[in-house]
Structure 1
Amino acid sequence: MSGVGQPGNLGERFLARLIDGLIVGVVSLVVGFVLAVVSDSWFLTGFLAAVINAALYLGYFGYLESSRGQTIGKQAMKLKVFGPDRVSNPTLEQAIRRNIYMAFGVLRIIPFIGGVLSGLAGLAAVIVIVVNINSDPQRQHWFDKFAGGTQVIKIG
């Protein structure tokens, strides 16, 4: 570890993710509204909204974590994501890999059952994350390991 601080705990990480979710969620709502206004096809609107929202979430987390090591929520909670070397920010690929579960919303493109599949996949990801963070001494979840060993550290 870089000596900066201790691994971020579940509560801090949850609050950071909640703040980030609210920020991206507002943008997502605006996009959905605009798509609904300009399109008369519920299928096309749903398809585009699912793809755009997945890109928004991955773009937000991927860009901010790779360029700054922090999203706005992590900054508010004094958390920072470090790459596997425990010194630098994760690469863009590592940041996207550790947040890939945010793209499960793209399953909504499947008519009728996509929303259920998306919800179940998201719930499964959250359960895996909670169990891993609470049981791993370094508080890494499966997606941190999938990203090569990224870690969220309390810096303040």
Structure 2
Amino acid sequence: MSNPGPFPGPPGEPSPYSSPAVRPGELLDRFVARFIDGVIVGVVGVIINVFLGIISNSWFLTGFISAVLTAALYLGYFAYFESNRGQTIGKQVMKLKTVGPDHVSNPTMEQAIRRNIYMGFGIAGVIPIVGGLIGGLASLAAVILIAVGINSDPQRQHWFDKFAGGTQVLKIG
């Protein structure tokens, strides 16, 4: 079977994602997967931040390091797992897989970073007093943009998927 349908791979080669059981990931499944991942990464982030608070006696330095490490932790988690496995732990639980623009292979590290770049908006926390608010508002705007994009696009791709060159989250089970 060559590559028909909405999930093409290389011309003339079968695509493992062209079966009728594979379809674009829905908003609710993706939300639950992100929630699971957020809990996992959040627990690690809290442990790191508690440790930073204990060893540092400067709230400014702690806040700065915390913002950088937390943003790197979130962005790194999603970029690493999506580029290497196509799935985070939350996506595994929800039977979702992120694929690159060819709809077959995992996204490259660059594509995975691009599609998850909003996870790094917390870096704004390095700005004393208002940074957390700025980062939080930017993240909220990104999440709204993502939800609207997923619900309005027939392939369930949000703006960041398109920014990454056409990555897509598929329901594989």
Same fold by TM (over 0.5)? yes
> Which of the residues 49, 55, 61 maps onto 2:66?
49
1:25 corresponds to: 42
Greater C-alpha radius of gyration: 2
Consecutive unaligned residues in structure 2, runs of 5 or more: 1-6, 8-16
Which has a greater percent of helix?
1
Instruction: State the shift of 1:58 in Å.
Output: 1.1
2:122 corresponds to: 105
CA RMSD of aligned residues (A): 0.6
Please tell me whether residue 3 in structure 1 is matched to residue 18 in structure 2. Answer: yes
1:149 corresponds to: 166
SS of 1:12 mapped into structure 2: helix
1:108 aligned partner, one-letter code: G
Higher relative contact order structure (alpha carbons within 8 Å, sequence separation ≥ 6): 1
CA distance in 1: counterparts of 2:137 and 2:79, whole angstroms: 23
Deviation per CA, 1:57-100: give whole Å up to 9, x if none: 11110110000000000000000000000010000110011000
| Equivalent pairs, count | 156
Name segments (4+ residues, structure 1) moved above 2 Å: none
CA distance in 2: counterparts of 1:26 and 1:109, whole angstroms: 21
